[in-house]
Amino acid sequence: MPDPTPRHIAIVMDGNGRWARKRFMPRGVGHKAGVDALVKVVQAAADRGVGFLTVFAFSSENWKRPEEEVSGLMSLLLVALSKHLVRLKADGVRIRIVGDLDQVSDKVRSALLDAQSATVGNSRLVLTVAFNYGGRWDIVQACRQAMAAGLAPEQLTEAELSRFMAMAYAPDPDLFIRTGGEVRLSNFLLWQSAYAELMFTDCLWPDFDAAELDRAIAEFGRRERRFGDVGSSGEGEGAIGAGEDASPQPPHCED
């Protein structure tokens, strides 16, 4: 039986603003709570043997937000790194950054790259922080690199292009989670998520915790991954965690 634990989980951490508004607080408070949730989920994922966790921290579209919110997110990132980096490093987390860092301030770029360098020796869990990232940007930058490397059109295969994608070091995500109730990919890991199992939850990101992660992993174990093949013929057979209780779980996360 295949291992029901996804090797790579990607998360769109949505719902921070609504979480704060429900509490009559500024959106920035929600983002701060989002950082706390992220730190806990990283620990929980590592404990469960997930090898790669990739989170959408700042999309290439997030620049459209009010200037105050954008600068708040940048400041929060700096605070979060200075507060949590030592612990993450001690816990064996390797931080990697993907995204167009040419567009971010020197201070933010340095902090991100320093975190990456400081944890380069770790391998328990690779936490990829997608920052000023967009899936279309990634595909275009990969094509540009392939062209710059002198690849002829007939040499450009899926495998070749994959070598130039920003996350070439990681397996494709097995499980793609989006919190916050929206049901779309929002330009996250478009190339890499071709065969990911998609999971959408109403849970607002600051409420997402180890129990929610376990719920998502359990649901992943009930999915049948076919990768374009016909899969098994019997109902439930062939699911990743086949043999386990396949009954749907009640929703848990409530706000």
Provide, rounded to whole angstroms, the least separation between the CB of residue 251 and ligand FPP.
18
Q: Restricting to residues 139-158, name those near ligand FPP by CB under 6 A.
A: none
Binding ligand FPP by CB under 6 A: which of 9, 41, 53, 73? 73
**Which lies closer to ligand FPP via its Cβ, residue 62 or residue 116?**
62
Other CB atoms within a 10 A radius of the CB of residue 1 amount to 10
Which among 16, 47, 62, 91 is annotated as catalytic?
Answer: 62
**Which lies closer to ligand FPP via its Cβ, residue 86 or residue 194?**
86
> Does residue 57 interact with ligand FPP by CB under 6 A?
yes
> Does residue 10 interact with ligand FPP by CB under 6 A?
no
Helix (H) or strand (E) holding 32: helix 27-47
- The phi and psi torsions of 86 (rounded to 5 degrees) equal -60, -45
Binding ligand FPP by CB under 6 A: which of 52, 58, 137, 188? 58
Query: Which residue number is nearest to ligand FPP in terms of Cβ?
Result: 17
Question: Catalytic residue at 187?
Answer: no
Helix (H) or strand (E) holding 114: helix 106-118
Task: Give the integer Cα–Cα distance in Å for 154 and 50.
Answer: 37
Provide, rounded to whole angstroms, the least separation between the CB of residue 17 and ligand FPP.
3
Query: Which of the ranges 12-20, 112-120, 165-173, 208-216 carries the binding residues for ligand FPP, by CB under 6 A?
Result: 12-20
> Does residue 80 interact with ligand FPP by CB under 6 A?
yes
Task: Give the integer Cα–Cα distance in Å for 80 and 254.
Answer: 26
Which among 14, 172, 174, 207 is annotated as catalytic?
Answer: 14
Provide, rounded to whole angstroms, the least separation between the CB of residue 218 and ligand FPP.
23
100 contact partners, CB below 8 Å, separation of at least 6: 60, 132, 133, 137, 141
> Does residue 98 interact with ligand FPP by CB under 6 A?
no
Task: Give the integer Cα–Cα distance in Å for 36 and 160.
Answer: 38
HSE (side-chain half, CA atoms, 13 Å) at 73: 21
Binding ligand FPP by CB under 6 A: which of 99, 180, 221, 241? 180
Long-range contact pairs involving 218-223 (C-beta distance under 8 Å, separation at least 24): 218/4, 218/244, 218/249, 219/249, 220/4, 220/6, 220/174, 220/175, 221/4, 222/246, 223/197
Binding ligand FPP by CB under 6 A: which of 31, 84, 96, 178? 31
Task: Give the integer Cα–Cα distance in Å for 162 and 29.
Answer: 38
**Which lies closer to ligand FPP via its Cβ, residue 6 or residue 15?**
15
> Does residue 186 interact with ligand FPP by CB under 6 A?
no
Residues marked as catalytic? 14, 62
Instruction: Enumerate binding residues for ligand FPP (CB under 6 A).
Output: 13-18, 27, 31, 34-35, 38, 57-58, 62, 73, 76-77, 80, 180, 205
